[in-house]
């Protein structure tokens, strides 16, 4: 069984590579099945088992990703880009682009210099063949139930505890999860953060063509509930949230969200970021890998729990 699974993992990679090569040619399941040497039904069934999506949905995601990349980074005509990636018209691509990014391709280009102030920044990143869109949120982007599919569940087996001037790992087990009330709290927190001049980014797994996709990552900085920036000489801004939905962890999304936060943190006029992190081994290891260190100043309003570890990051 394991050998058969490995064979199909190789086949899926061949399929994905073939789609990338032929993305501008309206690749079809029939053409691909001929390349693989299996029936269209068998290819489709195995692809869905291995990736969790249909071949049609995957091709739609890749078409929009490539078209969007050219719109954002190039200067070709929108119609030419649309036709290049299999859209039947300028309007068909415009509808797909606007539903995902909240603005038409033409308007985005015209206002590119001011876009970050008016609509928010968009970063596109291909991670493990998923199109992850990292978007800065405005108040109008927050809506009820947008975290319905977000899986906060975390099972912890080891935690760091301070022993003198060092931290030691202890066998401490617990789980964390979010129910509907906690998800609503997280949305309210993000909303208040934006209203108070903070910065909020969400990561989306781009949905099939014409849909927004689901939220798979959350990051916010600069807004405690009262919007204060604290510490000596007001040098710290609080990184209140940086969370990734369970199926999307260890894919680089957390690092990408943090990079987006750092690129925009100059707006806050601070020298450092501060976070009160849970002491779980995987959480602290993540922060240390990004370059965080133990905070030089303890800021009580930002501290969430007595066992949390206070960290800072120099911008």
The pLDDT score that the predictor gives to residue 292 is 94
Of the pLDDT bands very low, low, confident and very high (cuts 50, 70, 90), residue 125 is low
For residue 269, which of 220, 225, 310, 233 has the smallest C-alpha distance? 233
H or E segment to which residue 307 belongs: none
Average pLDDT value for residue range 63-78 = 79
What does the radius of gyration of the chain's CA atoms come to, in whole angstroms? 22
Tell me what percent of the residues of the chain surpass a pLDDT of 70: 80
Domains, the chain: 2-114 (1.10.10.60), 122-314 (3.40.630.30)
Write the pLDDT tens digit of every residue in 225-237: 334 444 444 578 8
Average pLDDT value for residue range 86-115 = 71
Average pLDDT value for residue range 169-191 = 91
Strands of the chain (E only): list them.
122-127, 130-136, 154-156, 159-163, 166-170, 174-176, 199-205, 214-221, 236-244, 272-277, 293-294, 309-314
Mean pLDDT of the chain: 80
C-alpha to C-alpha distance for 90 and 79, rounded to whole angstroms: 5
Q: Are 217 and 253 in contact (CB under 8 A)?
A: yes
Q: Are 194 and 223 in contact (CB under 8 A)?
A: yes
Of the pLDDT bands very low, low, confident and very high (cuts 50, 70, 90), residue 8 is low
């Amino acid at each position: 069984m394991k050998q058969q699974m490995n064979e199909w993992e190789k086949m899926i990679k061949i399929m994905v590579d073939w789609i990338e090569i032929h993305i501008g040619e309206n690749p079809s399941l029939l053409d691909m099945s001929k390349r693989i040497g299996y029936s269209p039904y068998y290819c489709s069934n195995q692809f869905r088992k291995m990736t969790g999506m249909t071949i049609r949905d995957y091709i739609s995601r890749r078409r929009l990703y490539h078209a969007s990349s050219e719109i954002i980074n190039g200067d070709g005509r929108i119609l030419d880009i649309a036709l290049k990636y299999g859209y039947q018209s300028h309007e068909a691509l415009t509808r797909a682009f606007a539903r995902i990014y909240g603005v038409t391709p033409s308007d985005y280009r015209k206002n590119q210099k001011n876009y970050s102030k008016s609509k928010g920044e968009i970063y596109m990143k291909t991670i493990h063949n998923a199109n992850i869109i990292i978007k800065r949120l405005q108040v109008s982007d927050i809506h009820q139930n947008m975290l319905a599919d977000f899986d906060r569940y975390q099972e912890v087996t080891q935690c760091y505890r301070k022993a003198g001037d060092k931290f030691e790992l202890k066998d401490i087990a617990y789980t964390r999860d979010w129910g509907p009330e906690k998800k609503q709290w997280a949305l309210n927190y993000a909303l208040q953060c934006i209203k108070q001049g903070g910065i909020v980014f969400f990561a989306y797994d781009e949905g099939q063509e014409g849909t927004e996709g689901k939220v798979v990552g959350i990051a916010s900085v600069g807004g405690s509930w009262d919007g204060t920036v604290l510490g000596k000489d007001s040098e710290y801004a609080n990184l209140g949230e940086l969370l990734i939905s369970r199926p999307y962890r260890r894919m680089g999304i957390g690092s990408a969200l943090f990079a987006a936060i750092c690129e925009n943190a100059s707006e806050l006029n601070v020298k450092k970021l501060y976070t009160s992190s849970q002491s779980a081994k995987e959480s602290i290891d993540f922060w240390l890998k990004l370059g965080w260190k133990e905070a030089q100043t303890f800021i009580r309003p930002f501290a969430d729990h007595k066992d949390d570890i206070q960290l800072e990051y120099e911008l």
